[in-house]
Structure 1
């Protein structure tokens, strides 16, 4: 099912995934208009997109998704919303109130705007972290959407993403102003990597500081299955196509889907080494401290920060829940997305790896220079 002639809104359009999705829409679909919604749209990005847009109109909406009037203007006349924008925080730097305002209230604002402005389809970019892992570190290997897993989410980020996902799926079937009905679905990608991934840059910078030895924060047996950004963008496109067709719309609407690809399962730390070893990086054989001792130190740090909280807000760089996430086998299959959405990874593992390595190689001189200037 083609998206030809549709008008779509992409929130977080200038982000890591947002940019990739916009380029895919311009390359693959003869859309009437793509609206870039973000707090700020870089002129260089817009110029690059204009050069490859063909007959598709590109429009810019700069503003805050917490602003109801703004999101209504952005959605007016649109038929499809890709909601990618969110605040990401796994160590507690951002206050819960801010995370909730953007991730939950912002999503609710968009859903209300879709109902008021007769937007037929809404696709929410959720996160693997709404599933866990739980504080006990219970593993999941090759799980799916039916996997039962007991989890009390500890991260404020995970909590707000979960609530936003629930609100999105509950809005499926809401009556629009014109009498039609809103169709929604949510995608839960694994850890997303690829060109433009700021987390990979952060790990590379840590490795440079450590004399080109990557830090090990996860045990080799704690395997996860990262997913390439190009494949996540493709899954969004397939979801949009599914929601447009009447038959598949009813089958897909109101559901969530795990999005992975054929990237080999590996621990987070070892994945960093896979994509950075061609650049001359090695990796620690084991963490500098045993994991049990790290957990204890994190507990003591969290206790100290809680005691200081009335006087000064201090956030430790690592906490127990992050250590649990990094050291829990947690992988999921994309077979349900393949069956319902027609999703197939469009980029092989080798292609994804080569593209990521090339991008990291292009960033390495700049990172070395930046870190030298800070010394």
Structure 2
């Protein structure tokens, strides 16, 4: 009964890389290189796995609604900041929008970037205002603040998905000082870069820093997101949050993963090594970045065509054609296991057209 559905959800939604996977399978590749979803190819810390298994017998009860074990682990890892947690970064984004955005409110988004911001704003009845990045995909603070004027909330991703580009703390500070709304800084990939924005939380009332356990900590399947929030905002977030969003298995695994810093450092080191190899060995230009993926400019070819050709060779990557504001000659390639990375380098070299 389509007349009952809001028009925003009749056709469009989040775009997954399913078509490339189907092409790879149809081409006879039963174990393709999966480099489209920015996943961590390595399993979680054994300590996280054990912690999750230990609480499974107790899942007949609701989890701790305050997420105390996880929050305590966050404070031990990062310091005495105010934290909130939810089901993945998307859960944090949804709740933040719920607290600030009403029908017709405008929300600024630095584009091109992660498409879910716009989808979530739309779901809440808000209107997205696109703030274009510069030619090198960095953000100009003056332009950002000018275009975001009058909005209550703004989203800025760093390292940015899908470009991989990272903003300096000085850029973020300038925005916070001159923007009258709340800035949500999405740092899902920050462990792979190392830029530290946390000290800015002590200086600015209007900064929220979102993070996730899905990437560097290998817990994508458990959906754990968290955010540094200002003291004034913590109670507001909790009142708007869905009850019991983070299950006890996820909480236990995430807390244990945070404590295993050696495990994460090894993963980050491997990702950084392969990221540099992609930059050095890919025949197409690679945009310099700090995430666990790279964005490749395949011009004069089209992104969708290159994705299809790579899938036929058993390598699944992401076309960036669906990212608003980005030309259709970019692909995004995650860092995978060594054999997957080698497969990508070989396949992209084989189809290269100067």
Q: Same fold per TM (> 0.5)?
A: no
TM-score tier by shorter-chain length is 0.3 to 0.5
**What's the TM-score once normalised by structure 1's chain length?**
0.33
TM-score normalized by the length of structure 2: 0.35
